Amino acid sequence: MGMLKLDEGKVSHARALAKTIADDVQGYINRHTTATIERTTLRLLGVRGLAPNEEPLPNAIVDRLHDKLGFGVALPFLSTAVRTGLGPNELALAIAEGAVDLDHDAAIDPARVYEAANRFLKPQLDRIARMRQRRDEKLAAEPAREQPLIYVIVATGNIHEDVGQARAAARAGADAIAVIRATAQSLLDFVPYGLTTEGFGGTYATQENFALMRQALDEVGDELGRYIRLVNYASGLCMPEIAAMGALERLDMLLNDSMYGILFRDINMYRTFCDQHFSRMINAYAGMLINTGEDNYLTTADAVEAAHTVLASDLINERFALNSGLAPELMGLGHAYEISPELPNSFLYELAMALLVREVFPDHPLKYMPPTKHITGDIFRAYVVNTLFNLAGQWTGQGIQLLGMLTEAIHTPYLQDRHLAIQNAKLVFEAARDIGQEVGIKNDGFIAARARQVLDKTTAFLEKVSEIGLMEAIAKGWFADIKRPKDGGKGFDGVAPRREGYYNPVLAVFKKSLNAVIE
Both 261 and 152 in one domain: the answer is: yes
83 and 153 inside one domain:
no
- Count of residues in the chain: 519
- Does the residue 400 lie in any domain? no
pLDDT at residue 107 in the model:
66
Based on the fold, state whether residues 90 and 230 are members of the same structural domain.
no
- Distance separating alpha carbons of residues 496 and 428, to the nearest angstrom: 51
- Quick check: is 414 in a domain? no
Element holding 391 (H helix, E strand): helix 379-395
Cα separation of 452 and 116, whole Å?
Answer: 56
In a domain, 369, yes or no: no
Long-range contacts of 78-82 (CB under 8 A, 24+ apart): 78/45, 78/108, 78/113, 78/116, 78/117, 78/120, 78/505, 79/103, 79/106, 79/108, 79/113, 80/106, 81/116, 81/120, 82/108, 82/109, 82/112, 82/113, 82/116
Q: Which helix (H) or strand (E) holds 233?
A: strand 229-233
Q: Which of 157, 169, 173 is nearest to 206 (CA)?
A: 157
Q: Which amino acid is at 198?
A: E
The neighbouring-strand residues paired with 149 are 400
Q: Which residues contact 327 (CB under 8 A, 6 or more apart)?
A: 284
d(CA 393, CA 432): 10
pLDDT of residue 409: 85
Cβ proximity of 231 and 179 under 8 Å? yes
155 & 75 share domain: no
- Residue 264 · residue 298 · CB < 8 Å: no
Q: Which residues contact 437 (CB under 8 A, 6 or more apart)?
A: none
Cα 403 off chain centre by: 18
Of 106, 122, 138, which residue is a domain's last?
122
Measured CA to CA, the distance from residue 121 to residue 46 in angstroms comes to 7
Same domain, 312 and 200: yes
Per the rule left: phi > 0, alpha: psi between -120 and 50, beta: everything else, 450 is alpha
Q: Does 322 share its domain with 255? A: yes
Instruction: Kindly give the residue spans of alpha helices, DSSP state H, lying in 396-445.
Output: 415-431, 435-438
Of 122, 156, 172, the residue at which a domain comes to its end is: 122
Which CATH number is 241's domain given?
Answer: 3.20.20.440
- Asked if 50 and 160 sit in the same domain, the reply is no
Return d(Cα 481, Cα 129) in angstroms, integer. 41
CB 71 within 8 A of CB 502: yes
Q: How many CB atoms lie within 10 A of CB 155?
A: 19
Cα atoms found within 13 Å of the Cα of residue 437, Cβ hemisphere only: 4
Catalytic annotation present for 260: yes
Radius of gyration of the chain (CA): 23
Q: One digit per residue, pLDDT tens: the chain, 519 residues?
A: 578 989 999 999 999 999 999 999 999 999 999 999 999 999 999 999 999 999 999 999 999 998 899 999 999 999 999 999 999 999 999 999 999 988 877 667 889 999 999 999 999 999 999 999 999 999 998 877 777 999 999 989 999 999 999 999 999 999 999 999 998 899 999 999 999 998 888 999 999 999 999 999 999 999 999 999 999 999 899 999 999 999 999 999 999 999 999 999 999 999 999 999 999 999 999 999 999 988 888 888 888 999 999 999 999 999 999 999 999 999 999 999 999 999 999 999 999 999 999 999 999 999 999 999 999 999 999 999 999 999 999 999 999 999 999 998 888 888 899 999 999 999 999 999 999 999 999 999 999 999 999 999 999 999 999 999 999 999 999 998 899 999 999 999 999 999 998 999 999 999 889 987 876
Tell whether 442 is covered by a domain.
yes
Residue 87 sits in the same domain as residue 184: no
| Residue 381 forms part of a structural domain | no
- Of 276, 278, 227, nearest in space to 251 by CA: 227
CA 222 to chain centre: 26
Those residues with Cβ within 8 angstroms of residue 135's Cβ, 6 or more apart along the chain or in another chain: 227, 250, 252, 287
Taking the CA atoms of residue 2, residue 7, residue 11 and residue 12 in that order, the dihedral angle to the nearest 10 degrees is: 110
User: Is 167 among the domain residues?
Assistant: yes
* 158 shares a domain with 55: no
| Rounded distance between C-alpha atoms, residue 509 and residue 258, angstroms | 23
Q: Please tell me the pTM assigned to this model.
A: 0.95
CB within 8 A of 11, min separation 6: which ones? 360, 455
Would you say residue 198 lies in a domain? yes
367 is catalytic: yes
Same domain, 106 and 157: no
Residue 481 designated active-site: no
Largest Cα–Cα distance of the chain, in whole Å?
Answer: 75
Q: Are residues 257 and 173 in the same domain?
A: yes
Whether residues 233 and 291 share a domain: the answer is: yes
Which of 233, 260, 297, 368 is catalytic? The answer is 260
- Among candidate residues 103, 252, 275, 295, the one labeled active-site is 295
What pLDDT is recorded for position 130?
Answer: 97
203 in Cβ contact with 163 (< 8 Å):
no
Burial code (b: 16+ CB inside 10 Å, e: under 16) for 189-225 equals bbbbbeebeebeebbbbbbbbbebbbebbbebbeeee
CB 215, CB 228: distance < 8 Å: no
Check residue 110 and give its pLDDT: 87
- Is residue 468 in some structural domain? no
Under 8 Å between Cβ of 155 and 179:
yes
Cβ-in-10-Å burial (0-12, 13-18, 19+) of 507 comes to buried
- Give me the number of domains the chain comprises: 2
Range of the domain at 320: 147-336+431-451
Cα 170 to its chain centre, rounded Å, is 22
Three-state secondary structure call for residue 312:
helix
- Residues with Cβ within 8 Å of 174's Cβ and at least 6 positions away in sequence, in order, are 150, 151, 152, 228, 418, 422
Q: Which of 162, 314, 337, 367 is catalytic?
A: 367
pLDDT in the model for residue 451: 97
DSSP 466-493: HHH-HHHHHHTT-STT----TT-SBTGG
